[in-house]
Structure 1
Amino acid sequence: MTLTHLAAASANFGRDLEQAYAQITHLVAEARTRDVKLLALPEATLGGYLSTLHTDGDGPDSLPPVIDLDGPELREVARIAGDMTVVLGFCEADGDTRFNSAAAVTGDGVIGVHRKVHQPLGENLYYEAGEVFQAFETPVGRLGMLICYDKAFPEAARALALDGAQIVTCISAWPSSRTAGAGDIAEDRWTRRFNVFDQARALENQVVWVAANQVGTFGSMRFVANAKIVGPGGDVLATTGTEAGLAVAGLDVEDALQTARRSMFHLRDRRPETYATEVPVHA
């Protein structure tokens, strides 16, 4: 049995890039002491997220800095990552267009990119939407990436699984509920949704699920943390709960997938010819 150690971070990142590099360095160093080969950091690691998602006010007080894929910022993360695969979020510049993006980075540079497809609560006012779900090869296996609200849509994770993803990282800046929040963030309804989505997406696709999230506050946002590793049977292998830190779990990815898929293999047993491709939406 060959164990691969995976880690997901609950961490707070804001606008200061130098502070972000220092925190990434610390988290990578901690992960390395635990033999981690894949580390998922939150959405908007470089430059922070929007300070609000309210659409009934003046909007964010500032926007994240734009970052080029071949720019110095991701080169610095690649230097820090070394032989580790690190997934992190940033505001990607494509000409004058902004995307809320995730990159998988090793010491060799950027090896994969995902642009967030599903946009909640006015995020489309500041970012363009991505249009692709695609898995790719990494040192830890075939990997798919999602960002935050993407995981609320079963089709997103399913597209990655059908493209051969063994591991899916979903990096988030997932907040607590604004309209019916709980004093104890562990009891918040959006915390429960965050956790249910993680387990459901892992189980229905029989993949290893690595979920990172922001923690603490930024602007008007209060994040739910709960970074975790979920096995292909939907079992939570490690979690940070509502605290900052790393959720770390070691598993033989190939063996875990084979065990989960031995009797009932959901991807094999699909009947796509019975699924309507266009279904009317009833409000």
Structure 2
Amino acid sequence: MTTVTMAAVAAHFGRDVSRTLAKLPGIIEQGRERGVDLLVLPDATIGGYLLDLHHPASAADGIPEAIDLDGPEVRAVAAMAGDMTVAFGISERGVVDGAPVRYNTAVCVTGDGVLGTHRKVHLPLGESEAYLAGDSFRAFDTPVGRIGMLIDFDKTFPESARTLALDGAAVIACLSAWPASVTDRSDRIRTDRQAHLFDLYDCARAAENQVFVVSSNQTGVLGDLRFLGQAKIVDPGGEIVAKTWAKGGMAVAEVDVEATITRARRSLDHAAQRVVGAYRLS
């Protein structure tokens, strides 16, 4: 595939799974009408995110219901996807040592089924009350090329995206439920400290790894959290080529992934020019 049309979605998804499954066909069809090959939906698309970042387990309905990777919800999104590659977030049901656990998981599907998954590794504040952390970052092959996935706070850590890039990812899908600051609130989202960081991390991860970043996010309010939106596509030079700002919408860009990355790395190939022996990795 010479060119790929990518889309990052900013939208609100709450607890009502039936409502979400009724809403998604319209979003996916909108992408299909615009020729989208890769559609990245927010973190916690199915079931919504937490209601509180500090003590989510203490709130009634504070934690989304877990679902199975091979369950009807994931199969439904795969059927909607058809020949499109779609990434979305779930609360994944798991079992460790016989005990039930949840993971904050990103799932990538086509109509053929699940292509890849990622369990969120970095759990901020009280998120560990709700989820068990994942333990790896791996890229995988899709009809639109080799991609990797991150879930919101994961992108704060340069090692996360670098690991995916070294594993061959040309595109990194960042699925987020990233709220405005809960400690230093601003009247306007555009001036919020977290809004600045959200964009900064997207651009930095793209530029330092010379890859595309397709960054989705939740919008609206859930519990105590007000989400930023700001879905975007960032090119390998760290430039935002499409963005939704704070409102719901779809940021879309048609790009020649291979040619753009080759051009970005022609003189300064960051991965090839690393001095690994100079870095303290732990």
Partner of 2:23: 23
Partner of 2:35: 35
Q: Is the 8 A contact 1:50 1:60 kept in 2?
A: no
Q: Secondary structure of 1:209's partner?
A: strand
Partner of 2:177: 173
Query: What displacement does 1:60 show?
Result: 5.8
Q: Is the 8 A contact 1:51 1:60 kept in 2?
A: no
Question: Residue 248 of structure 1 is aligned with which of 245, 252, 256?
Answer: 252
Question: Residue 122 of structure 2 is aligned with which of 118, 138, 143?
Answer: 118
Partner of 2:224: 220
Query: What displacement does 1:62 show?
Result: 2.9
Choose 18-27 or 211-220, whichever is displaced more.
18-27
Partner of 1:281: none
The CA deviation string for residues 110-138 of structure 1, in whole angstroms up to 9 with x for no partner, is: 11000000001110011000001000000
- Structure-1 separation of matches of 2:17 and 2:84: 21
Superposition CA RMSD, Å: 1.3
The 1:100–1:57 alpha-carbon spacing in structure 2 relative to 1, beyond 3 Å, is closer
Q: Is the 8 A contact 1:103 1:110 kept in 2?
A: yes
Question: Residue 267 of structure 1 is aligned with which of 261, 265, 271?
Answer: 271
Q: Is the 8 A contact 1:10 1:240 kept in 2?
A: yes
Partner of 2:11: 11
| 1:2 partner letter | T
| 1:17 partner letter | V
Q: Is the 8 A contact 1:14 1:218 kept in 2?
A: yes
Query: What displacement does 1:14 show?
Result: 0.5
| 1:209 partner letter | V
| 1:178 partner letter | V
Query: What displacement does 1:94 show?
Result: 1.1
Query: What displacement does 1:2 show?
Result: 2.8
The CA deviation string for residues 219-265 of structure 1, in whole angstroms up to 9 with x for no partner, is: 11000100000000101010000110100000000001101111100
Q: Is the 8 A contact 1:53 1:59 kept in 2?
A: no
Query: What displacement does 1:24 show?
Result: 1.4
Gaps of 5+ in 2: none
- Give the share of equivalent positions with the same residue, in percent: 51
Say whether 1:152 aligns with 2:156.
Answer: yes
Q: How many aligned positions are there?
A: 278
Choose 144-153 or 174-183, whichever is displaced more.
174-183
Mapping for residues 87-236 of structure 1, pairs under 5 Å: 87-95=87-95, 96-236=100-240
| 2:27 partner letter | L
- Structure-1 separation of matches of 2:115 and 2:252: 23
Q: Secondary structure of 2:180's partner?
A: coil
- Structure-1 separation of matches of 2:178 and 2:62: 19
- Structure-2 separation of matches of 1:261 and 1:144: 19
Partner of 1:62: 62
The 1:176–1:70 alpha-carbon spacing in structure 2 relative to 1, beyond 3 Å, is same
Q: TM-score, normalised by structure 2?
A: 0.96
- Structure-2 separation of matches of 1:69 and 1:88: 12
- Structure-2 separation of matches of 1:277 and 1:178: 31
Query: What displacement does 1:57 show?
Result: 9.4
| 2:47 partner letter | G
